[in-house]
Amino acid sequence: MESLTPHTDVRLAVAQCFRTLNTSADKKDIITALETLHSYLDEGPETHFTRTLQFLVSNIQADWLHSLTAAQRTGLWEDLFLKGPPGQALLSLLITLSLDHRPSSNLDQLVSITEKFLQNGRLAHLLWCYCQETGPSDSPQLRETLLGRIVGLPDLTANKLHLNNNPLFLPQQYYPLLATEMFMALERTCQALKDGTDCSLTFVAQTLGKVCVQGHSGEFTAGGRSTALRGEPDILGRIIGNIVLRNKKAQFVITHKLLLLQYKYETRVLRIILGYLAADRERRPLLIQVLRSLSQAWANPSAVRHTPLEQQLYVSKALLLSVNLLEDSELQELRSDLLQCMLGGMQSHLDSSVVRIRHMGMVVGECLSARMDISGNKLKFEYDQDEETQELLSLMTPRTGADPEAESSEGFVVFDWCSDDELTPYDMSGDQEMSTVSLPRYLRDCLETLISSEDAKRVELSLRAAEDLVRKNVFAAREISVQLTKVLLHMENKYSINGFPSLRQATMVALTVTDCIPVTQYLTTEFYSLNYSLCQRLDILEVLAMAAQELSKPVTEKRDPPAAVAPSPDMTPYPNDKPHWRQQVEKRIQSNTRHFRKGVSQPVLKPTPNRYAPVAGHFFFPLLRNYDKPQTTFDLLGSDHLLLGRLIHTLAVFMHLAVNAPVIASQMGRALLDFVWAVRYHVDQMVRRGVLFAVCSVFLSMNNQNMLVDLSDQLFETRTWLADVAEGDPDADCRSLAIQSLVLLDKSLKKQLQDQQALSLES
């Protein structure tokens, strides 16, 4: 098999075997011919082996083959495919399998031998032959064909076998198997390199590249998780050596593409890549180069605004892992770069309206500060730790072989001698703290306490009782609603009351619901007033949104009926809100109601007035005033992205809740689209999400006919913009919202066209 020149004797002997198999009916002659073909597996030219395989698969339905016993077929026929050169065997099987149109029994035999080929490690042997460069001196065309068949095996078998496909040929099983076979070949390559034998990884690299190009990297990497290449950089170094120093393309892939352009890999892949660069003195300058690139990318304000959050997290992980690999001398060399990265990057991240991005900036800032040890001062932020932040923090901890669980358990053993386990604890679960302060009974007492008292306990009890007193004493609440709202809006948690934000917010919501118009007028006016913090303005929006949601729900028995059913004289409809919207809503409900006369009927729900519809304008329109006038403390259309995004979201909530008030909904829809249209291409993804949510709310809440009449000049341009966002926005949520908006718009247009056609037919 070592010579590629055909031997005349072998060629004549093989031809004689073919004639015997084609013409002889004697079983002994057939067995002798097959044994002769077997004898040439280890000697003679490989061209004869290819001819032999082609002859065998073309005669798979021959009588002489079916005359053999199962053991003879396995040993004399199948072994020719399983013990000869694997490349020719696989190629012959797959080509025949894809072209075979014979009975299913013959097809089953081809499938069976192909399955055995894969199960017996022949793929690993095939790849190893090419690593040794002992394979056939095939042409580039033949090698490309073999690569295509190896990588495309699931597609080839699926096209031929359809629902009868073998489970081993499915992508979720085949590609992990291929990965495992490839790693086996790489391990043998490592050993060969240690022994001083030259090897080539060209064919393996081409196979891997073709798998990734065809989109099967996910299934493929699953097969490598149980191999020796799982997480050790030194193994990667033994395989590829210092190729990054000699080959510019390889250097670009490892130091730039895998770290700054791709971001789908797991953290262990980053550890392997960066550990590979750090493991060798000649490669460490590339680690410095990579760290500079990562720090620039992490601190770039444009990247923070425009790149996907997943990519920002990926770069943050790579940055922390790189810093953790630095030696002290290298850290001093990069001190100015890291300091600039920390200060500029933290500012860019903390300015973001996305909570995860802000947390990312805090964690990376803390880690860089701790690593550089600036004057002994370390940054420390307050944030809720989650799985993501904990993983980032863990990247700065040196990895050791010790088991962290074992270490933690040792700490408890040390102090086992001082345990008080033998002492029986006294049950104090039923104890209650004695207090001389009682709950206030009147709302004005609560107000006076919150204004003037310095007693922490009295303040806490007043705050806890306030919401219930507001809802139970409507008349008293309306007398002091605005004053109490003002006190609560400016109130700070100086006594560290548990649940302070929710208690304060719940009372403000109750006041807004109970005395709607005066309180909403106060809150919407204060939103644009001077000398308010960002948190206070966000609180105003949150309270208004929660109050509107409560007003839009049916009245329950637990609420005070007068507050819900008998509106005060101040509860006048907002200007331009027509009173006949009820008839339109009832007409739409009746036209879409199906009545069933048989069976057990459901209890009829008691109709309740819509408390939100008459006052929807008071929530909505005042917040659209002065948004384009920069104040001394905030600038909605400037740097205050978070406030702008929350404002748009709140307005969209008001819009959605007005679904049962078609007249006011039309006015709100026009105003909202005009407002958000100017910021539809905002740099902040949170603002863009708010804009798209607002558009969805308009399409959901407006009557189809009203929408087409009132927004006819905007719909075409809006649809074009939504299509652009759905295709090209870097944020996945924005793309999803844009698709939802397009679906809603198309449904509305289709429904209106159907209604018009139905009216024309009736007329």
380 and 262 in a single domain? The answer is: yes
Number of C-beta neighbours around residue 296 at 10 A: 16
Higher model confidence: residue 586 or residue 238? Answer: 238
pLDDT category, 565, cuts 50, 70, 90? very low
Model pLDDT, residue 222: 53
Model pLDDT, residue 604: 56
pLDDT category, 435, cuts 50, 70, 90? low
Model pLDDT, residue 415: 31
Model pLDDT, residue 117: 92
Cβ–Cβ < 8 Å for 76, 31: yes
From first CA to last CA, the distance across the chain in angstroms is 89
242 and 110 in a single domain? The answer is: no
Mind listing the pLDDT tens digit for each residue in 376-387? 567 888 888 888
Number of C-beta neighbours around residue 142 at 10 A: 14
372 and 304 in a single domain? The answer is: yes
142 and 238 in a single domain? The answer is: no
In angstroms, the CA 34 to CA 32 distance is 6
In angstroms, the CA 331 to CA 373 distance is 11
Question: Which contacts of 199-204 are long-range, i.e. CB under 8 A and separated by 24 or more positions?
Answer: 199/131, 199/132, 199/133, 200/130, 200/131, 200/133, 201/131, 201/239, 201/240, 202/130, 203/127, 203/130, 203/131, 203/143, 203/147, 204/127, 204/130, 204/131
Of 119-123, 132-136, 234-238, 673-677, least confident by mean pLDDT is 132-136
Residue 4 pLDDT > 70? no
pLDDT category, 578, cuts 50, 70, 90? very low
pLDDT category, 348, cuts 50, 70, 90? confident
Domain for residue 438, yes or no?
A: no
388 and 258 in a single domain? The answer is: yes
Model pLDDT, residue 467: 95
Cα pseudo-dihedral 539, 542, 545, 546, rounded to 10? -110
Residue 425 pLDDT > 80? no
Per cent of the chain over pLDDT 70 is 80
Q: Would residue 530 be called left, alpha or beta, if left means φ above 0 and alpha means ψ between -120 and 50 degrees?
A: beta
In angstroms, the CA 97 to CA 92 distance is 8
29 and 120 in a single domain? The answer is: yes
Selection from 663, 489, 523 nearest residue 581 by Cα = 663
Residue 432 pLDDT > 60? no
Residue 236 tokens read as 């990667």
Domain for residue 568, yes or no?
A: no
366 and 246 in a single domain? The answer is: yes
Model pLDDT, residue 503: 95
Mind listing the pLDDT tens digit for each residue in 508-532? 999 999 999 999 999 999 998 888 8
Which range of 161-165, 415-419, 514-518 scores highest in mean pLDDT? It is: 514-518
Residue 347 tokens read as 């500012």
Cα pseudo-dihedral 254, 256, 258, 259, rounded to 10? 120
Model pLDDT, residue 72: 85
pLDDT category, 660, cuts 50, 70, 90? confident
Domain for residue 567, yes or no?
A: no
**Does the predicted TM-score (pTM) go above 0.85?**
no
- With H, G, I as helix, E, B as strand and everything else as coil, classify residue 608: coil
Residue 21 pLDDT > 50? yes
Q: Would residue 599 be called left, alpha or beta, if left means φ above 0 and alpha means ψ between -120 and 50 degrees?
A: left
Model pLDDT, residue 314: 93
CA-based torsion, 631, 633, 636, 637: positive or negative:
positive
pLDDT category, 646, cuts 50, 70, 90? very high
Segments forming the whole domain that contains residue 91: 6-165
Model pLDDT, residue 208: 84
Place of tokens 């304000």: 301
251 and 108 in a single domain? The answer is: no
Model pLDDT, residue 107: 80
Domain count, the chain: 4
Domain for residue 192, yes or no?
A: no
616 DSSP assignment = H
Of 272-281, 521-530, 747-756, least confident by mean pLDDT is 747-756
Query: Across residues 524-547, what is the average pLDDT?
Result: 91
In angstroms, the CA 710 to CA 704 distance is 10
pLDDT category, 408, cuts 50, 70, 90? very low
Domain for residue 419, yes or no?
A: no
Higher model confidence: residue 280 or residue 426? Answer: 280
In angstroms, the CA 746 to CA 724 distance is 16
pLDDT category, 228, cuts 50, 70, 90? very low
373 and 511 in a single domain? The answer is: no
Q: What share of the chain is helix, strand, coil (3-state, %, to 5)?
A: 70, 0, 30
Q: What is the mean pLDDT of the chain?
A: 80
pLDDT category, 642, cuts 50, 70, 90? confident
651 and 526 in a single domain? The answer is: no
Last residue of a domain, one of 114, 130, 165: 165
Domain for residue 420, yes or no?
A: no
Which range of 49-53, 482-486, 600-604 scores highest in mean pLDDT? It is: 482-486
Model pLDDT, residue 419: 38
Model pLDDT, residue 592: 47
Per cent of the chain over pLDDT 90 is 27
Query: Across residues 665-682, what is the average pLDDT?
Result: 90
**What CATH number is attached to the domain comprising 691?**
1.25.10
389 and 535 in a single domain? The answer is: no
Query: Across residues 703-727, what is the average pLDDT?
Result: 85
Residue 632 pLDDT > 60? no
Residue 289 pLDDT > 70? yes
Cβ–Cβ < 8 Å for 450, 486: no
Cβ–Cβ < 8 Å for 731, 688: yes
pLDDT category, 219, cuts 50, 70, 90? low
pLDDT category, 143, cuts 50, 70, 90? confident
In a 13 Å sphere around the CA of 73, the CA atoms on its Cβ side amount to 16
pLDDT category, 428, cuts 50, 70, 90? low
pLDDT category, 369, cuts 50, 70, 90? confident
Residue 220 tokens read as 């493929």
Which residues, at least 6 apart from 677, have a Cβ–Cβ distance to it below 8 Å? Answer: 714
Model pLDDT, residue 100: 56
Q: How far is CA 629 from the centre of its chain?
A: 37
Residue 470 pLDDT > 90? yes
Of 112-116, 423-427, 475-479, least confident by mean pLDDT is 423-427
653 and 547 in a single domain? The answer is: no
Model pLDDT, residue 505: 95
Last residue of a domain, one of 395, 412, 437: 395
> Helices then strands (H, E): number in the chain?
41, 0
Last residue of a domain, one of 395, 419, 442: 395
Model pLDDT, residue 439: 83
Query: Across residues 695-699, what is the average pLDDT?
Result: 91
Higher model confidence: residue 405 or residue 30? Answer: 30
Residue 266 pLDDT > 50? yes
Residue 346 pLDDT > 80? yes
Domain for residue 422, yes or no?
A: no
Cβ–Cβ < 8 Å for 243, 193: no
Q: Would residue 265 be called left, alpha or beta, if left means φ above 0 and alpha means ψ between -120 and 50 degrees?
A: beta
Domain for residue 109, yes or no?
A: yes
Selection from 470, 560, 479 nearest residue 508 by Cα = 470
Residue 300 pLDDT > 60? yes
Model pLDDT, residue 315: 93
